[in-house]
Amino acid sequence: MTEFVHVEQTSGVLTLTLKRPEKKNALTNAMYAALADGLERAENEESIRVVLFQGDGDSFTAGNDLADFSAAATRTANEERQSARFIRGLARATKPLVAAVQGNAVGVGTTMLLHCDLVFLADNAKLATPFVNLALVPEAASSLLLPLRVGYVRAYQMFALGEPIDAQTALAWGIANAVVPAEDLRSRARDAAEVLVTRPAGSLMHTKQLMRDAQAMTRQLDRELSIFSERLTSNEAKEAFQAFAERRKPNFANVEG
């Protein structure tokens, strides 16, 4: 349980709201656990037909909590992080996932959208996957899904340069369904979720399964997780996390990989 994720079920929609706006909804281990629990609950309860992700404040999420990343680096290798549980839950989800995204969506805040079936962006949304800036590698099967979605060179640009793309670019590249005024974001996403609730659940489930290659995603997740865990303890990553804490640019010039 964490106060930073609010879980609410109404009319067949399970809404998972990130509530840590003062930290731009950066995701701690406990928050990942709550999100993973939510996805598991949705799979197990027939009354839940759609899952809706949203975040309070001016950012959807700044991605993984960077202090938690540093802590994760010191945990035992076989202790699976809750983020991995959440990510596997996204890849396994059989029910529709809808996202309402405003402001910054960093790291997993963007890669999780590749697992969502409908994505609505506020006009101020900015999507970034700066894993390389942190000396890490892409996760959530995004090393497979992003190039498939937007093409290799755009995906490489997003991963290797780590610069955010704006909402209109994300729409043009096929990452989102619509860009809407920020004040309409929640109602648009909610309306779409409620339409999905009225569709035949079995048909939606099979449609989703036909469209997504679960085996390929699992294979890629395993590869990513193994390299990601190694990277977390690298000297490059230590420099990146320290630089964030000290609010300075990292300097990788003399750091061994």
Question: What is the pairing mode between strands 50-55 and 13-18?
Answer: parallel
69 neighbors 107 (Cβ within 8 angstroms):
no
- DSSP E strands in the chain: the ranges are 5-10, 13-18, 50-55, 97-101, 104-106, 118-122, 126-128, 165-166, 178-180
Please identify, using beta-carbon distances, which residue of 54 and 64 lies nearer to ligand COA.
Answer: 64
Least distance in angstroms from the C-beta of 107 to ligand COA: 3
**Per CB under 6 A, 63 contacts ligand COA:** yes
Near ligand COA in 202-231, by CB under 6 A: none
Q: How many other CB atoms sit within 10 Å of the CB of residue 248?
A: 9
Told to check if 106 binds ligand COA by CB under 6 A, we report yes
By C-beta, is 73 or 205 nearer to ligand COA?
A: 73
How many CB atoms lie under 10 A from the CB of residue 51?
27
Query: Comparing C-alpha atoms, which of 24, 63, 50 is closest to residue 200?
Result: 50
Region from 1-9, 48-56, 127-135, 209-217 binding ligand COA, contact rule CB under 6 A: 127-135
Contacts with ligand COA in 23-52 (CB under 6 A)?
Answer: 23-24, 26
Residue whose CB is less far from ligand COA, 96 or 103: 103
Enumerate binding residues for ligand COA (CB under 6 A).
23-24, 26, 59, 62-67, 104, 106-107, 130-131, 134
